[in-house]
Structure 1
Amino acid sequence: MSHTQTQNQSTPTATVAVAVIPRATYRLQLHKDFGFEAATTILPYLQRLGVSHVYCSPISRARPGSLHGYDVVDHREINPELGGQEGFERFAAAARAHGLGLVLDLVPNHMGVIGAHNPWWADVLENGQASGYAGFFDINWHPFNEELVGKVLIPVLGEAYGEVLAQGQLQLAFDAAAGQFQLAYFSHRFPVDPHTWPVLLDAALAELEAAGGDASLRARFIALSAYAAALPDRSEVGEAARNYRADVIAPLKQQLAELAGEADAAGAIERVLATVNGAEGHDELHRLHEAQAYRLASWLAAADEINYRRFFDVNELAALRIEDERVFEATHALALDLTASGVVDGLRIDHPDGLRDPAQYFERLQRGHARRLAQRLPDAATPVATADAQALGIYVVSEKITAAHGDQPDDWALHGTTGYRYGMLVNGLFVDRRQARRFERIWRSFSGVETGYEDLVTDAKRAVALGPLGAELTVLATQLKRIANTDRHTRDYGFSTLRDTIADTAASMPVYRTYVVDQASAQDRRFIDWAIAQARKRSAAADTGVFDFLRSCLLAEFARDDEAHRPQVLQFAWRFQQFCAPVAAKGVEDTAFYRYHRLISLNEVGGDPATFGTTVAAFHGASSDRCARWPHTMLATSTHDNKRSEDVRNRIDVLSEVPGVFRLGLRRWHLLTRSLQREVDGRRAPSPADEYLLYQTLLGSLPAGELDDAALADYRERVAAYMTKAAREAKRETSWMRPNAAYEEALLGFTRGVLGRSAGNPALNELRTRATELARFGGLNSFSMALLKYSSPGVPDIYQGNETIDLSLVDPDNRRPVDYAVRDQMLDTLQPLVDALDAPDRAAVQAALQRMAADPADGRLKLWTTWRLLELRRRDPPLFENGDYLPLKVHGKAREHIVAYARRTPSAMLVVVAARLYVGLLGRPGAPLFGEACWGDTTVDLTPLREAHLAILEAQDVLSGQRHALMQPGVADSGHLRVAELFASLPGAALYLGPQA
């Protein structure tokens, strides 16, 4: 539903696209079992809930069976497993009919490549550097290992290449329909370069002659062999040679397919396959393999020798050179056609930190959209981002993780991020900051881990740089050594010293990456200087002057006046930045987060576990800044990337208020489970750190209410899978690279034992009792979080199912099917409350809301809050798109337990007041949540709003329907809202003043 308008100018009328800013988005994870048809069935529910846009996971063709869509194999085609083009068109039309727009998730950084499903990658494997797609992928064709020059290392084998060959697991195969020889390894198929066919075709000719085959068939074999031999070698990468290969190979395959359709020819080919595959020693097969543009290798070789850039350390995902405009157009044409046609309103960009130049990329997105609309934009010398972000043609957000001390660059042509930072900011409000040291002592005492979080992160990042990403590090070190050799002052720095220096600096980088293109910004310089200084302190290098050399290269200042070598320096700086992002992601999110368990609700994508909670002042500061600079960024509290859902975190947050109770519980649970513990390699299993993680996980995710045998069994296996993944990610006792079967067996035995049965299981019974207590307070946290999220500056995003209480863990657990029928029925049960909000007698409404607040773990209160505030966003879009943000002061005995602010435009205002830190507020189970006994003299100061709204004295709470007098002329305490009166029904309120109030 992109809108266009015409703008009168002195030149002919031009079409100007204006981005559609979503009111709220709803994220769906599409896959073969939940495609477009299934998604269409829930559109009426999403419309009723009140979102404006359906936010879809990637819809381009992915590897068969993909459950996430990030392993795209063809950007030009809509995934047939989701319903294909026709299915998408029906889905999009149905969305429009329900007044819903679409936001699509795009994957510009990488493609799925293992398997025979990616036509571009298959062409590269077949033709090497002579492929027309060789420049699409970020392949180092001249690696450190000279034997790999002109080849791509494919680390797909389960064992060493020699063993695979000797065991006959590698076979020569023939696809008769495609006319293509292949190397087969189980289900994998790799093309054989037609230039190497002659030895096979000549052998087939010999077989045919020995059998007395038809002369015409023999002649056709001879001709095909001659054509194949005449193909230019892959090393001939000129345009003429490349075009000739491309023109000849397709008909060559067609002729071979036709020839193979003859029974005698097919028989001859089959006998050649049998001979090659059955030969002792497999020498012929080995020679054929060595003649290809790729080398098959053990998956363990990737860390040392892989020579294509990947998504993190995932061998199956090869990085694209999206900075090449040909690659950009080839991969984005479909998406931009959809935005220009008005079918799609917005784009979510996955992992922009993997791109060489994100600023260039986002500008190309906007220009590509505008070009399809024949829209006039500033010339190329004037960045699109200099315009007002709301005037950009398409709504764009980036999946960007920003540090508290950094931010997304202001000059990117987009509207913000996908909201990870907001999720951790608002989560921190429910963590008691005063208990940080006590929790650190509890963690260290129980786990025995003495390393502080920041040192642990640096160690983990360095281990990732030297280990899983070691091949990329070698490429960087080779580049840097070549640069060093150009100057007499730096040529003595050795390769190993440079390699270690790069690793130390990447591990010390305080942000995911910098964005140097031609020269460093002030922010880039600050981060690089910080990293260099920290790395220098930790370094064991004899000559730390090497860090000065590296710094000058990272800032693109080395040999600034040397035009001959400056391109080398820039290439190195760009590549280092692309290296830093996966080092940070793998070192922090996928290692440190699984080693440091002080309070695991803080261990979340976009978060910093070293920061124990958020002050109200910090929340206000970040919200004010977001309102001023990124008013249309997404607000996410749960995502498909979460380590645990928002509601699991909200439960675990409660532990921060009761450190003594948690410490005693740890001691008790450990004693009750001693019989389940084992010894592996002379040490206790599970480790104390994993045991500590398990208890917090159970407290955060145990289902509320009774658990029958079936429900307990399902939950047991979910947690067992989670603990296995967590232990492997931690890389302490076991890992993905080197699984420790004995340790994992002990860990699973312990986990399943704790959750073994309901009856006669004192450890589980105690954990369930504690979890039930936490569930109430966690549910209240979820209520307050929803109240803040749907009224804050930005575009709130709901991850599928999280409009109610959802107790999911990391993927794949958070991608389980969502029961939308139950959620729709819950709206049905809440509808009478909506109808009664304006009734004269409000006693029934108040009683119903108080009952929901007494049992918030059932999800009704969270859903009610979400539904009511989404309806308000629908009623008054300008208030949330453009409204100011004003922090409000709170006075009185419970002031530390309140967050209050206002949103306002010239015609409307919303006053939001939410409670927090409920355990410290109530003091004891069963204490009253409402009235003077709880809130006493606590007031919210509304006097900063007086000038703007002198004539508006009364507002209605959109959650309860209650009307409250805000400002009364002549009354002494006018403008001081008493919380005890405000919180008569719920521990939160959203007071709306507007034309329709």
Structure 2
Amino acid sequence: MTPERSDPAVPTATYRLQLQPEFPFGAAAAAVPYLASLGVSHLHLSPVLEAVPGSAHGYDVVDHARVREELGGEDGLRALARTAREHGLGLVVDIVPNHMAMAPRHNHALWEVLREGPKSPYARWFDIDWEAQGGQVLLPVLGHPLGAELGNLTVDGDVLRYYDHVFPLREGTEELPLPQLLDAQWYRPAWWRLARTELNYRRFFSISELIGVRVEDPEVFEATHAKIFQLLHEGVVEGLRVDHPDGLADPDTYLRQLHEATGGRWTVVEKILADGEHLPASWPVAGTTGYDALRQVDGLFTDPAGFGELLGQYRRFAAPQTDRGGEWAATVRRAAYKVLTHELAAEMDRLTRVASRVCATSPEPAVRDRAPWALRTALQELLVRLEVYRPYASGDAAAVVTEEAAAEARLAFVVAEEAGAVDVVRDLVLGRVGDGPEHGEFQARFAQTASALRAKSVEDTAFYRYVPLLSATEVGGNPGSPAVSPEGFHAYCARVQRDWPVAGTVASTHDTKRSADVRAALAVLTECPQRWADVLAEVTRTGEGVPDAQLAWAAWQTVFGLGPAAAERVQGALSKHVREAGLYTSWTEQEPAYEEAVAAFVGAGPCGVPGEHVAAFRSRLEPHIRANVLGTALVQLTMPGVPDLYQGTEGEYRALVDPDNRRPVRFPPEDPGDAGDKAALTAAVLRLRRRRPAVFGDAATYAPLTAAGPAAAHCTAFVRSGEVLSAVTRLSLRLAEAGGWRDTLLPLPPGVWADVLAPEREFTGHARVEELFERLPVALLELRPGR
């Protein structure tokens, strides 16, 4: 029977499919009957527009006007939409407004810019500093300095070739000798290492293969969104996920334009919120994609006292190379300095040039006479002290670039008068001085640089340097204080229900460094830190072959969280780990001897015979891991917001960082085995949400329930709209060690409450928690009508 469609404006639940040539639109269509039976209302598709051939993710768009041919083209997408509609499902798609692929042979707009230069009608598309590099776009594609590669650059008609790279030639330059021909182009092929300091186009973070797009230009906005708007208006697509809005010059204006152009379709934004940071209230979106919810759910199952003990064990075992004994804030600060002076050096140069121009031409005497070095120092010292991604025009920039940060930044100067550069920069950011286009450009570039810095220094560096608890190192998380109290969790949920009731929630995504099930296992370590230390002492008794203790700690946690798996998966994740950390090797300065030592250690230790001791320890903790897995699933699926399930996570899903978490999955899944409880629970919640959308929607309510008795702290429960009740076991290992539930009771709202998974079980009044959790460590109850 075809399920009834709910209001297409707001999903009841979405299911993320990671499209790629190995899993095109046709494969997605074949999965529709299963996904419809699961209970979701919408398929959430990764980017569908034309991308670099072979791309496994689609975020490297090359043509906004076409649906990707490798996935089946527009006909394939429309066929998928028809199949989905026949089964009561809609489509939500991921859009990428911030950047395109730096692949001229596939990117027609970029090809024309490289051929015609700043006079090309496409020049306004890309964020290029034409005043730098002598008016040429630096293309960091050469494997060695130009002198060593000159013989590998060849002219072929009206194009220049370098191995697989193809570039257009400026008209009339084809017959010039090669050195003069290169000088005559609108671009400069250069050694790839020059990208760090010489690049003159905005990019995605520090990825030179992705060039920034100027969607703040109305013409560019329309051209890069026309196909998506067509698909929306024709009903092929019903909602949007916006990738990385923080990279845009003006996210506020962009999101208003998007809202108007789409007619207010359900839209969520990939906005990473720091602890205590709120989404700008003026943004006309449904909310975030859900990393803030992920942080809250993970924190709920983390023992605060046990984390403190685990942190002490980490410091003793790993002796981390961080300031002040391994503090999180110090780790982030050190990483930020490193990123600004290395990976984002070119961005800092450009920001400094803009600041210098603004100061030199300012009518305000106090702003003038600031040396570029002083402005650069002031910018750096302020940027590294930002605790959120960036300021916004709609928000209070003084709350982001604080006076406290300015006071610390002034200490970097020896001469007090030179320290005034800090106040000049801060006043420019806050809009207290300056106006006009140059000042607006400075504010936008400061915000964009801040965003890239936060992502690179926290997500891509500090998360790999500060690892007492790997499950805490997810975007939006706080590895220095990962636990969330039940009271804090309830307060968060109440605020979301009030302010952003149909925002997204996630537990696993294509970007999480570890899937929810892996993180759920790791959280158990906060309940037994001494036992974990004892296990490590056993498996590292000799200490031979350990390249560094911090990596060893992370490696042992990795195999504990992942459980039995192919060694190459662990090797791949840990290879990425050490390069991202950048302490002994990196992506651009690889140290083969160190990386070989890491591989040997992982193979002989965590993935060898000693790893069997960790596997046995994990096996003994399996009931408590299961409690966290099921608790995480139930809380994420029933808390305020629209849950997004990543492919395969309805059952047991253990994955590490990409590309491990982007492997195609099988539909329908194979026999879930031990994961059957999670699969049954997930399907039950999704079908309940589809059947009763109002219970969970924008007009729903959220009310915490408080247990009473000796183990009350271990039961977290809440009621949605007075009709659906969720209860989970929190810190189950500590609970068992304290003697179990005993006489703990959960007071239920009036009426008869039926177990959704076992309807013959009913509860009224004060339910004994031990009885409530007799079958599973979680419970989902529904109020019986008229009883």
TM > 0.5 between the two? yes
Check if 1:102 corresponds to 2:91: yes
Q: How does 1:528-543 map to 2 (within 5 A)?
A: 528-529=401-402, 532-533=405-406, 535-536=408-409, 539-543=412-416
Q: 1:865 aligns with which of 676, 681, 687?
A: 681
Q: How does 1:305-324 map to 2 (within 5 A)?
A: 305-324=198-217
Distance 2:188 2:414 in 1: 36
Following superposition, the deviation at residue 785 of structure 1 comes to 1.1
Q: How many residues align?
A: 772
Partner amino acid for 1:738? E
Following superposition, the deviation at residue 503 of structure 1 comes to 1.4
Q: How does 1:560-959 map to 2 (within 5 A)?
A: 566-671=436-541, 674-675=543-544, 677=545, 685-703=546-564, 715-754=566-605, 761=609, 763-823=610-670, 825-826=671-672, 858-881=674-697, 882-904=699-721, 909-923=723-737, 934-942=740-748, 945=749, 953-959=751-757
Residue of structure 2 equivalent to 1:394: 265
Distance 2:179 2:777 in 1: 72
Cα offsets for 1:11-33 (capped at 9, x unmatched)? xxxxxxx9611010000000111
Bigger Cα Rg: 1
CA contact (8 A) 2:700 2:720 kept: yes
Following superposition, the deviation at residue 530 of structure 1 comes to 5.1
Check if 1:192 corresponds to 2:169: yes
Partner amino acid for 2:84? A
Residue of structure 1 equivalent to 2:258: 365
Check if 1:499 corresponds to 2:376: yes
Partner amino acid for 2:519? R
Distance 2:681 2:269 in 1: 28
Cα offsets for 1:118-165 (capped at 9, x unmatched)? 00000000011011100100111112xxxx232111111111112111
Distance 1:804 1:796 in 2: 15
Residue of structure 2 equivalent to 1:475: 350
Cα offsets for 1:937-963 (capped at 9, x unmatched)? 212234xx55xxxxxx21211122244
Cα offsets for 1:898-934 (capped at 9, x unmatched)? 1011111xxx61122111111111129xxxxxxxx73
CA contact (8 A) 1:435 1:656 kept: yes
Distance 2:606 2:733 in 1: 28
Residue of structure 1 equivalent to 2:146: 161
Partner amino acid for 1:403? A
CA contact (8 A) 1:532 1:547 kept: no
Following superposition, the deviation at residue 488 of structure 1 comes to 3.7
Distance 1:286 1:56 in 2: 46
Distance 2:384 2:120 in 1: 36
CA contact (8 A) 1:532 1:551 kept: no
Residue of structure 1 equivalent to 2:3: none
Distance 1:788 1:436 in 2: 22
Following superposition, the deviation at residue 638 of structure 1 comes to 0.2
Q: 2:180 aligns with which of 287, 291, 296?
A: 287
Q: 1:194 to 1:556 in 2, by over 3 A?
A: same
CA contact (8 A) 1:508 1:531 kept: no
Partner amino acid for 1:533? A
CA contact (8 A) 2:101 2:211 kept: yes
Residue aligned with 1:591, SS: helix
Residue aligned with 2:534, SS: helix
Q: 1:121 to 1:775 in 2, by over 3 A?
A: farther
> Which structure 2 segments of 5+ residues have no match?
1-6
Distance 2:621 2:218 in 1: 53
Distance 2:308 2:415 in 1: 38
CA contact (8 A) 1:497 1:541 kept: no
Partner amino acid for 2:310? F
Residue aligned with 2:740, SS: helix
Partner amino acid for 1:54? L
Q: 1:514 to 1:756 in 2, by over 3 A?
A: closer
Following superposition, the deviation at residue 755 of structure 1 comes to 5.4
Distance 2:105 2:516 in 1: 39
CA contact (8 A) 2:92 2:239 kept: yes
CA contact (8 A) 1:509 1:530 kept: no
Cα offsets for 1:411-458 (capped at 9, x unmatched)? 111101110111111011111101233222111111112231101101
Residue aligned with 1:462, SS: helix
Distance 1:723 1:47 in 2: 37
Q: 1:540 to 1:439 in 2, by over 3 A?
A: farther
Following superposition, the deviation at residue 345 of structure 1 comes to 0.9
Check if 1:132 corresponds to 2:121: yes
CA contact (8 A) 1:337 1:369 kept: no
CA contact (8 A) 1:362 1:413 kept: yes
Distance 1:134 1:996 in 2: 66
Check if 1:117 corresponds to 2:106: yes
CA contact (8 A) 2:752 2:784 kept: no
Residue aligned with 1:135, SS: helix
CA contact (8 A) 2:390 2:450 kept: yes
Distance 1:50 1:515 in 2: 38
Q: How does 1:56-95 map to 2 (within 5 A)?
A: 56-95=45-84
Residue aligned with 1:611, SS: coil
Check if 1:171 corresponds to 2:22: no
Following superposition, the deviation at residue 965 of structure 1 comes to 4.1
Following superposition, the deviation at residue 535 of structure 1 comes to 4.2
CA contact (8 A) 2:14 2:43 kept: yes
Partner amino acid for 1:815? R
Task: Give the superposed CA RMSD.
Answer: 1.8
Cα offsets for 1:538-594 (capped at 9, x unmatched)? 6245332221111100001113xxxxx543222101110011101000000000000
CA contact (8 A) 1:657 1:917 kept: yes
Partner amino acid for 2:194? A
Following superposition, the deviation at residue 995 of structure 1 comes to 4.2
Query: Relative contact order (alpha carbons < 8 A, sep ≥ 6): 1 or 2 greater?
Result: 2
Residue aligned with 2:716, SS: strand
Distance 2:144 2:388 in 1: 37
Following superposition, the deviation at residue 195 of structure 1 comes to 3.3
Identity %: 39
Following superposition, the deviation at residue 531 of structure 1 comes to 6.5
Cα offsets for 1:635-680 (capped at 9, x unmatched)? 10000011111011000000000011111122221125x44x1xxx
> Which structure 1 segments of 5+ residues have no match?
1-17, 175-180, 201-283, 371-392, 560-564, 678-684, 704-711, 827-856, 925-932, 947-952, 967-974
CA contact (8 A) 1:155 1:296 kept: yes
Distance 1:348 1:503 in 2: 32
* TM-score normalized by the length of structure 2: 0.95
Residue of structure 1 equivalent to 2:137: 152
Cα offsets for 1:162-183 (capped at 9, x unmatched)? 2111xx1111123xxxxxx111
Check if 1:451 corresponds to 2:326: yes
Distance 2:685 2:462 in 1: 37
Residue aligned with 1:935, SS: coil
Q: 1:938 to 1:812 in 2, by over 3 A?
A: same
Distance 1:142 1:432 in 2: 54
Distance 1:612 1:816 in 2: 29
Residue of structure 2 equivalent to 1:521: 395
Partner amino acid for 2:766? H
Distance 2:414 2:368 in 1: 16
Q: 1:590 to 1:102 in 2, by over 3 A?
A: same
* TM-score normalized by the length of structure 1: 0.76
Following superposition, the deviation at residue 537 of structure 1 comes to 6.0
Residue of structure 2 equivalent to 1:228: none
